[in-house]
Amino acid sequence: MRFNNIVHDFVSTNCLTLLIWSSDDIVYSLSDTIIDQLYSEILPEIYYELKWLKLESLSMECIFRAVDYPNLYQLDLYNIEEESFKRLFIDETDLTSSYRSQISKLVITVGNNKNISSLRDTIASLFINIVNVFTKLHYLNFHSFTKLSSEYLSCAGKPPNIFSSTLTELYVNLREFDDCLYLLDDRFNQLRTFCVNINLIDIPLTIINNKFADLIVPLLHRMLNLEELALYIVLKSNEIFIDGNSLTKNIINPLSRLHKFMFNIRSILYLHNKPSLPSNEEIFRTFTNFTNTKVISCVDYFRRNDTGQCHIYSYPYTMQHYRSITNSFSGGLFKCVREVSLFDEHPFEHEFFLKLAQSFPFLKTLSVNNWKAQKYKNCQILNYNNQHFSIIKYPYLTKLIFPSAHDDYVEQFLDDTKTSISNNISLFVHYHPLRKATHNFSRVTTRMNCSKLSDLRILDKIKILEHQAYFPNYFKESASTTTTVSSVIVSAYWTFDNTIADSYGVYVGQLINNPLYTTATATNLPYVGNGQALIFNSASNQSFMISSSLFDLSYTSFTIEAWIYPTSFTGDRGIFGQCQCSICENQ
């Protein structure tokens, strides 16, 4: 069946996909049987019509040795290894030399490497070789992220030895802001589209509040030939919000060839008793000259945190996540969004969640941060009795997180007279809001939704063994994978075994100033053990930062444990810290 599908897809597209995509987006090779049949029977018959090949590293050499492909113009190479690339496209000049000037579009994902330092070198070397080898390249998507690795391209503090006068579209993940400057130093002088994901903008504190004017704008002004621009950034400032006037002055007017401009900009303003603050209407009026673009603006002020937030974006929305939605959310249709986080100092009522479900029909992950109780909960129950109350449905929701939320919102989703959920929900919640919302695990209207939970993560210490009957699906799953249920459940756990992800998948980390991984059994270290660790150098201000939404430690007891091996002491050193801004991206 798979062989027939491959041939059928080629007939309709002139594209041959010789790999397997798993349900979790991991690429695997085809079986040797299928590859052998393609090699001997199919490729010799269709090679002339073939224009686009999608390959993974294990079968790549075999496919290129089968026949020549005179009309091939696009290559998608997945899990590529540096050595196999060099062997095929640099060393084997007789075999692949024609493709150097024939391929105009190239998509690359880098193969996994357990050694982070080596992976960084591999990514940099591959990028340089690709640009230098394919001399007629117009489009390059150098995607160093996969499900198995998430490393960024780094120029390591010096300009790469590359040049291309043909490249017009470049998509790349970069480690630092300076890497942008190196790539845009006239070495791609025909670039029209540049889509970049930057891991870290590390700048002096003296200019951090003006980084849009001091960093982003000068960077864009190096790309005066840009015809399309997508700008997705979060900024913190002591001065002003980014609005339509700022975009017109700094981007629209200087980039005269720009004809397509998509943006999603969230600016966070520290209020500090400012006497005059712009309203949403005033911000929206600054976009009156954007006649060809529909613009949405949303302005909120949070007095408790002494901050303001202005979110402006071009519509239709193009990102897969939507952060820090408040009651000011105007609605719309966001089919591409899979992850949403909510925050406000005013309560979210039932009607708000109804609008949320209608706006994000394919929502998978929802995080709720709001300590304010609902004002009209009793009225909603009365409306329900009068048949005016709608049950909200989230058919695709698989992860529901309450890192900092009043029990009313836990009830909102667990009460089956208000919300309908699917059978595979993972719930992340603190014990006391859960107990209160379920009336100490005895409430009838929350029993059905609780029985659907496939995973239950209590974000503080608790014993829940006595409530197995209330969560039968969860305890059934737990029993099938383990013989005991722990009485203490932690909120987050980082192993640092070549990863910065939380083992529970909630709080993703970020490395600041490039600390390195090391194995615990390394011969140059005075200790032994299992797994890996991170080495931090205080002189380089290296640290590990939680870069997801608020890791809430308010109104609760908590314990922080860390395994630390200090090699020297020079004064006091912090182990853990947290800022007070609950709407900031990083805590």
> Which letter does DSSP use for residue 22 in this model?
-
User: Between these two residues, 238 and 357, which has the higher pLDDT value?
Assistant: 357
Cα separation, 379 vs 389, whole angstroms: 10
Contact 103, 80 (CB under 8 A): no
The yes-or-no verdict on residue 384 having pLDDT over 50 is no
The 3-state DSSP class for residue 422 equals coil
pLDDT tens string 516-527:
877 655 555 544
Percent residues over pLDDT 70 in the chain:
79
Q: What is the pLDDT of residue 485?
A: 39
pLDDT band at 461 (very low <50, low <70, confident <90, very high): low
Could you give the C-alpha distances from 173 to 109, 118, 438, in angstroms and in order?
11, 17, 45
pLDDT band per the 50, 70, 90 thresholds, residue 89: confident
Q: In b/e form, how buried is each residue of 567-586, taking b as 16+ CB within 10 angstroms?
A: eeeeeeeeeeeeeebbbbbe
Higher per-residue pLDDT: 378 or 267: 267
pLDDT one-digit tens code per residue, 324-333: 999 999 999 9
Tokens coding 437: 């919302």
Residue type (1 letter), 475: F
Q: What is the pLDDT of residue 406?
A: 95
Check if the beta carbon of residue 257 is closer than 8 Å to that of residue 226: yes
d(CA 131, CA 112): 21
Please, which pLDDT band fits residue 23 given cuts at 50, 70 and 90? low
Confidence band, pLDDT 50/70/90 cuts, at residue 488: very low
pLDDT at position 247 is 93
The strand ranges marked E within 453-578 are 453-458, 509-512, 516-519, 532-535, 543-546
Distance CA 1, CA 486 (A): 45
CB neighbours of 176 closer than 8 A, spacing ≥ 6? 154, 198, 199, 200, 201, 202
**Residue 33: predicted pLDDT:** 84
Among the ranges given (117-131, 301-315, 503-517), the one the predictor scored with the smallest mean pLDDT? 503-517
Burial of 166 (0-12, 13-18, 19+ CB in 10 A): middle
Q: State pLDDT tens for residues 96-138.
A: 788 888 999 999 988 765 555 567 788 888 899 999 999 999 9
pLDDT category at 207 given cuts 50, 70, 90 is very low
**C-alpha pair distances (Å), 516 with each of 27, 185, 343, 349, 394:** 27, 29, 34, 46, 41
